[in-house]
């Protein structure tokens, strides 16, 4: 099924793109969530009228993502965790922990944007670079320092 994207979707394309997707994906996910409309003649003509506002909205979202990336580029988060005899952490630092600290500091980031090469959990002390993917072409890194509480 051919659809017209109303918003940019990282795995599919930018707002305004005419793409072909599986029927079920379009009917059960994209269209009900308002992310796309079916690409029939009526909708294509209607979309041409709305295209300017959709592209303007996409540009505004891209600009806000870039501004957030600039703000996050020199952020350092320090987290303390209880440690045992051999500097082993009890528990771990999760992506959810990182998300909550960033939200406390006033940054609008959700956990789906946070990518870490060690997976979901950090189980050791030290300094880590955490990648935050804000848009398909915008990503930044923050520094996470995990210290021990004795």
Per-residue pLDDT tens for 40-80?
989 888 888 777 777 788 888 889 989 999 999 889 999 99
This prediction has a pTM of 0.67
Residues linked to residue 93 through DSSP beta bridges, in sequence order: 122
pLDDT higher than threshold 80 for residue 6: yes
Q: Are strands 2-5 and 36-38 parallel, antiparallel or unpaired?
A: antiparallel
**Looking at residue 28, what is its pLDDT?**
96
**Helix, strand and coil percent figures for the chain, each rounded to 5:** 35, 35, 30
Q: Residue 131: CB partners within 8 Å, gap ≥ 6? A: 114, 115, 116, 117, 139, 140, 141
The mean pLDDT of the chain is 87
Report d(CA 5, CA 34) in Å as an integer.
9
**Looking at residue 142, what is its pLDDT?**
92
In the chain the domains, ranked by start, together with CATH numbers, are 2-65 (3.40.5.10), 73-149 (3.10.430.100)
């Amino acid at each position: 099924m051919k659809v017209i994207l109303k918003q940019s979707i990282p795995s599919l394309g930018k707002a305004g793109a005419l793409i072909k997707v599986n029927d079920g994906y379009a009917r059960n996910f994209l269209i009900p969530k308002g992310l796309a409309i079916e690409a029939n003649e009526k909708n294509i003509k209607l979309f041409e009228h709305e295209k300017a506002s959709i592209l303007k909205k996409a540009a505004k979202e891209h600009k806000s993502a870039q501004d957030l990336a600039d703000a996050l580029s020199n952020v350092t988060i320090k987290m303390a965790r209880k440690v045992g005899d051999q500097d082993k952490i009890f528990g771990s630092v999760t992506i959810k922990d990182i998300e909550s600290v960033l939200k406390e500091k006033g940054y609008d980031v959700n956990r789906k944007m946070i990518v870490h090469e060690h997976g979901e959990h950090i189980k050791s002390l030290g300094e880590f670079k955490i990648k935050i993917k804000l848009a398909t072409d915008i990503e930044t890194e923050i520094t996470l320092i995990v210290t021990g509480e004795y």
